[in-house]
């Protein structure tokens, strides 16, 4: 499914760590890897050298795994250059990193990560590394919500990444109850979450079975973002793979956006996948 994977690298250590996930996935998919660094106009020379050094380290790491790898350095604005490379090289999936500074903004607006996510003409995996000491996941948490788009691609991504690290996978579903605002007035038992398991989960499981993965199932209750964070902390997951939010800005303002919440408070490393792949 993924024949060409791109990893955007910059002067931050986070991007190098994120690119290591790209190397592992490319290795598992036998995909060609493109590493790219776009130096902004007027960027400090020390920072450029730092990013170049990261690019070199990653290149050597990928080459050591016998991957077909190329590295590109450009000067200018990140989005147009990366978009052009994605089009020219027919990239299927691009990895980009986000960091604390980005997620402290609401909906990480005006960040390169968001621009790439919204505008690249390929699938995008946005990586947030909070635990550099646990880059090799052993226990991946995959939150599942009703009717996710590009189900097959998401299953492929999860399956291949789990395969790359020989990691166990846990599917997690947390139906969101009605507002607890009038908690004092409400009485009775909490709703049974089993009733709310989406049917699409069976299709997702079928896809995962192709990778000989039989995930654990777990159910949570409560606001999705909170439930996911708690589950990851409680079960000591070392990676969360979530689908990107499809909520618009207004919808996110009115009701909470679980993706944004998890992005902000994740207790372990996190990948947010926006699947856009057209071909199987």
Residues near other proteins, by CB under 8 A: 11-14, 16-17, 46, 50, 99-101, 104, 130-136, 138, 181-182, 184-185, 226, 229-230, 233-234, 236, 265-268
β pairing state of 123-128 and 239-243: unpaired
The nearest distance, CB 10 to other proteins, in angstroms, is 11
Q: Which residues pair with 168 in a beta bridge?
A: 139
Structure tokens that stand for 3 in this block: 């024949």
CA-based torsion, 154, 156, 160, 162: positive or negative: positive
Among residues 229, 269, 225, which one has the least CA distance to residue 245?
225
Residue 14: other Cβ atoms inside 10 A: 20
Q: Is 93 within 8 Å of 36 (Cβ atoms)?
A: no
Q: How far apart are CA 8 and CA 101, in angstroms?
A: 18
CB nearer to other proteins: give 41 or 104. 104
CB of 136 to other proteins, least distance (A): 5
Compare residues 83 and 98 and give the one whose CB is closer to other proteins: 98
**Least CB distance to other proteins at residue 31 (A):** 23
Query: Cβ distance 51 to 63 under 8 Å?
Result: no
User: From the CB of 239, what's the least distance to other proteins, in Å?
Assistant: 12
- What's the closest the beta carbon of residue 67 comes to other proteins, in angstroms? 19
Question: Toward other proteins, which CB reaches closer, 136 or 211?
Answer: 136
Distance CA 35, CA 122 (A): 15
Residue among 134 and 252 whose Cβ is closer to other proteins: 134
C-beta closer to other proteins: residue 9 or 86: 9
């Amino acid at each position: 499914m993924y024949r060409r994977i791109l990893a955007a690298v910059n002067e931050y250590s986070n991007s190098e760590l994120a690119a290591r996930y790209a190397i592992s996935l490319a290795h598992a998919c036998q995909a060609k890897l493109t590493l790219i660094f776009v130096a902004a106009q007027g960027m400090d020379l020390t920072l450029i050298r730092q990013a170049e050094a990261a690019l070199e380290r990653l290149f050597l790491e990928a080459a050591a795994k016998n991957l077909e790898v190329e590295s590109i350095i450009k000067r200018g604005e990140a989005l147009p250059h990366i978009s052009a490379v994605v089009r020219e090289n027919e990239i299927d999936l691009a990895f980009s990193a986000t960091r604390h500074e980005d997620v402290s903004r609401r909906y990480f607006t005006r960040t390169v990560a968001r621009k790439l996510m919204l505008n690249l003409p390929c699938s995008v995996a946005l990586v947030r590394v909070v635990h550099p000491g646990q880059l090799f996941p052993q226990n991946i948490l995959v939150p599942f919500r009703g009717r996710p788009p590009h189900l097959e691609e998401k299953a492929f991504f999860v399956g291949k990444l789990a395969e790359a690290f020989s990691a166990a996978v846990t599917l997690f579903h947390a139906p969101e109850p009605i507002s607890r605002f009038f908690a004092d007035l409400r009485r009775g038992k909490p709703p049974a979450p089993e009733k709310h398991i989406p049917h699409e989960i069976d299709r997702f499981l079928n896809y995962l079975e192709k990778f000989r993965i039989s995930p654990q199932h777990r159910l949570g209750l409560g606001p999705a973002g909170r439930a996911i964070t708690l589950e990851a902390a409680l079960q000591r997951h070392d990676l969360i793979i979530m689908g990107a939010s499809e909520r618009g800005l207004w919808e996110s303002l009115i009701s909470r956006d679980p993706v944004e919440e998890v992005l902000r408070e994740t207790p372990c490393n996190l990948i947010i996948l926006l699947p856009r792949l057209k071909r199987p």
